[in-house]
Amino acid sequence: MDAPLVANSGHQGTAMSLAPLAHVLYSRIMNHDPKAPQWMNRDRFILSNGHASILQYSMLFLGGYGLEISDLKEFRQWGSATPGHPEAGHTAGVEVTTGPLGQGFANAVGMAIAESHLREVHGSSVVDHYTYVVAGDGCLMEGLSHEAASLAGHLKLDHLVCVFDDNKITIDGSLDLTCSDDVAARFRSYGWNVIEAGEIANDCDALEKVLLQAKNHAGAPTLVVLRTHIGFPSPEMTDKHEAHGNPFNAELTSSAKSVMGIPNEAFYAPSGLVEAYRTHVASRGADARQSWEKTAAGKTSWYDSANAPDSAAIANALPVFDASTSLATRQAFQKVLEATGPVMPHVLSGAADLTGNTGSKLSGTVAFSSSHREGKHIYYGIREHAMGAAMVGMALHGGVLPVGGTFFVFADYMRPSIRLAALSKARCVFVFSHDSVGVGEDGPTHQPVEHLASLRAIPGLQVIRPTDANETAQAWLIAATHDGPTAIILSRQTVPAITDGSAVAPGAALLRSVPNPQVVLVGTGSETGVALQASELLSAEGIAANVVSMPSWDRFALLSKEEQAKILPNHLPRVSVEAASTFGWARYASHSVGIDTFGASAPGNVVMQKYGITPDNVARVAREAVNK
């Protein structure tokens, strides 16, 4: 209560009602060591209803993870270790970044997938831990929870335990305003083991018994339905929706403390109690970790190599495509993925039902399933939202590199997960094929137009749209060794091999350089070839045109201004050529050939022609730019 009161912001009601559960998890159930927060075989805890972050921060303070009272006093303040919602990599002991409801739940499914795969491959003496996730009504109302729970039940992820905080309250009011789901029946239909724990939210021994029962259940993930009362034990605010998002005032805080029998003192935490708690947690955690270290000694080198891949080995395994090659970049990606498979055993690849279309299939391996957890190819089903969030969980679990594919237009279904991947620097690779109106007959519903601009706008997301097979190979190398998420954007249509791939690392490079250029044509993806053909038309007219392949704005932005100017001289007209929205191109181009409307249903080459993505039109725009 005290931290939200000082901050005049925060959600104490849920945290209050879940405090006994958190205490039991951290002090009796979970294997974790505050002195080694990144211990590989630790149990993972995820607070999916991340608005209750003060609950997790309180436990990290009590458990000895490095937070002190001074940090709690800075709750939700600039530069503090206790931001409004838990952020992975920001606060020791926080596994994933949560807040957007349902994401943490689906992240937990991803973590359970990674754990079960690694346990099968490397043995239970090395990998054998559990993922515990707490989710509220909001998490389970979000459609993402359906996708993720269905997938988890199908895969029988029995090292996954979700505690459903059944407090029947949302910000708007009582749950019955908006929802009458039978959550237990719903999860049973997914194939989950369901324990309806009832009114035990304040009985620590009963909570421990139920959690151990959930942990020991084999053959299915477990949902514990825990009836709680938001705001308990506040006499005035228990079961009130106002307890959700409004910090208690001083009078309400004082009243609750009186019921609890503790002094009306801000941030009351007796040093003896805190010391005893930390000693207990540290001792318990150290015993578990040290026992594991003896058993797993010399068997964990794969974990470090997976988290820090050998770029030289990957580069040496990459195929090189000669000038006779003509492949859609999605097809090239498939070849690259398979060629590097032997040196990248930690890759888990899959797709949201479009496996054969996206190039993300790992051939020669059985599919990951409840009976073949060693499988490295994951069939996510038509669950783009869950795939994206699960990939983030897998990446933050560590030991694997998740790759997931779907059509580019369906990045819309994955955007919250992609954004959180960037926010948490989760090392995963989103593969998007069918990247433009070149998709053709499926029409505007399946033709991405604004999607490149929208992904490029996400801070921390590396976006690469390769021209051809060789740039696709380099894109995979860059993505696999990057310290955050990457989106690789691939074509449906066949394109010739016209580059050596050298433009990917710097983000852009000259593909055609002529003496005394008068204009620069800048292409991405399949349109780089269009720019190259346009330069030949201009040359026949006596107009000298350089051609630049620019697969990645993000990487180009890392170059110095001088390096950028060598590729894109500011004193020359620069014409971008991309079969997508021109939004954002003003940063690099003086003129743009693109598509600022929705597409149309027709063969892909016809749609391209109708929208002016042709050598003739590019040459026309460049000619006018030079003449002006």
Question: Please, what are the domains in the chain?
Answer: 2-296 (3.40.50.970), 307-496 (3.40.50.970), 509-627 (3.40.50.920)
Phi, psi of 133 (to 5 degrees): -130, 135
Tell me the residue type at 536.
Answer: E
Q: Judge whether 115 counts as a catalytic residue.
A: no
> Strand, coil or helix: what is 307?
helix
d(CA 149, CA 376): 21
What pLDDT is attached to residue 250? Answer: 97
Give the contacts of 38 (CB within 8 A, at least 6 positions apart): none
What pLDDT is attached to residue 365? Answer: 85
Give the contacts of 205 (CB within 8 A, at least 6 positions apart): none
What tokens were used for 618? 């590019």
Find out whether 491 and 439 touch, Cβ atoms under 8 Å: no
The stretches in the chain having pLDDT less than 70 are none
What pLDDT is attached to residue 59? Answer: 98
Q: Which letter does DSSP use for residue 178 in this model?
A: T
What is the pTM assigned to this prediction?
0.97
d(CA 479, CA 489): 12
Q: Indicate which residue of 147, 384, 471, 527 is catalytic.
A: 384
Find out whether 527 and 471 touch, Cβ atoms under 8 Å: no
What pLDDT is attached to residue 415? Answer: 97
d(CA 62, CA 610): 65
